[in-house]
């Protein structure tokens, strides 16, 4: 018999009650699946410790089973759907505040995360497209070695980019990733009421994009931009609006980074593929979301 008592870092009964109905069901064909809760706890153990999959404790079952289930649910979007559905549920009862904070952080990649095939993979069109195979790694070199940059936005939206890509360049992609379906019918929610960002996001292109979509921008102006505006005088127009009180909430994204880094496999990337790493971030985000006392 499987012991389902929640250990350190494992799913609590409350969290399991929320996600169990959303997991794939056994259709009665083929061999029965190993218990979902046991497998998810195994994935969480690996996220928390950062250990190799082969070192998974026996209480979670064969490591191959846990890894294959993790990879399968990454490929078919199960992990992302779990996070999406709990967001839909909380949004339906007014627990989601549509103020978005954006920022980025650089994660060091372990040497085991490098070394993916440079001449394309064995499957699909990637065999003839080595550039796509490299892009799936989302790694680049910096003075500190191989790095990748993670940009979470709302709830969170997470995008992986090579470590040398700046914040403003990836902003449009992060904003386009905001999507929370409605609980019944209607178009998904894609437009936050307000966006909070630091000076790295103070650009004419970003402010224009936000204004065009009807999103209030709370982004401080950089010193060089303010100096140029004063030098031009009346020709420069009015300074951009800035709500100092609202900006105090921007640190929520930095606190989110700090909590995600409690998972060692998130703080340091061990996965060769960016999609695998991102699936871990999504699952960690789901666990943090379910831990909130107001949820």
pLDDT one-digit tens code per residue, 94-136:
888 889 999 888 777 766 656 555 544 444 444 445 445 444 5
Question: What's the whole-model pTM score?
Answer: 0.76
Q: How confident is the model at residue 291 (pLDDT cuts 50, 70, 90)?
A: confident
The per-residue pLDDT for 134 is: 46
For residue 183, what are its two tokens?
A: 């609980």
Please name which of 199, 152, 208, 198 lies closest in space to residue 175, comparing C-alpha atoms: 152
DSSP annotation string for 114-140:
----SS--SSGGGGG-HHHHHHTT--E
The per-residue pLDDT for 165 is: 52
Partners of residue 269 on adjacent β-strands: 109
Query: Are the CB atoms for 231 and 16 separated by under 8 Å?
Result: no
Question: How many residues are present in the chain?
Answer: 295
DSSP state of 237: -
Determine how β-strand 194-196 pairs with β-strand 99-101: parallel
What does pLDDT average to over the chain? Answer: 80
């Amino acid at each position: 018999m499987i012991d389902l008592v929640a250990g350190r870092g494992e799913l609590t009964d409350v969290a399991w009650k929320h996600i169990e109905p959303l997991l794939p069901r056994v259709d009665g064909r083929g061999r029965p699946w190993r218990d979902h809760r046991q497998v998810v706890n195994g994935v969480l153990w690996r996220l928390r410790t950062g250990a190799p999959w082969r070192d998974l404790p026996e209480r979670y079952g064969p490591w191959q089973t846990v890894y294959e289930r993790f990879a399968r649910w990454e490929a078919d979007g199960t992990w992302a759907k779990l996070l999406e559905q709990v967001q839909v549920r909380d949004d339906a009862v007014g627990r989601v505040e549509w103020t978005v904070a954006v920022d980025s952080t650089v994660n060091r990649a372990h040497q085991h995360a490098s070394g993916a095939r440079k001449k394309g993979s064995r499957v699909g069109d990637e065999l003839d497209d080595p550039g796509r195979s490299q892009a799936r790694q989302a790694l680049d070199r910096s003075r500190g070695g191989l790095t990748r940059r993670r940009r979470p936005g709302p709830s969170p939206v997470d995008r992986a980019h090579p470590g040398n890509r700046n914040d403003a360049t990836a902003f449009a992609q992060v904003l386009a990733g905001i999507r929370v379906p409605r609980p019944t019918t209607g178009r998904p929610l894609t437009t936050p009421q307000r966006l909070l960002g630091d000076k790295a996001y103070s650009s004419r292109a970003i402010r224009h994009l936000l204004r065009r979509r009807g999103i209030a921008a709370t982004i401080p102006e950089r010193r060089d931009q303010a100096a140029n505006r004063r030098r031009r005088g009346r020709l420069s127009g009015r300074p951009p609006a800035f709500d100092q009180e609202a900006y105090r909430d921007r640190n929520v994204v930095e606190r989110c980074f700090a909590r995600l880094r409690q998972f060692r496999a998130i703080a340091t990337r061990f996965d060769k593929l960016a999609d695998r790493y991102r699936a871990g971030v999504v699952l960690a985000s789901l666990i943090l979301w379910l831990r909130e006392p107001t949820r």
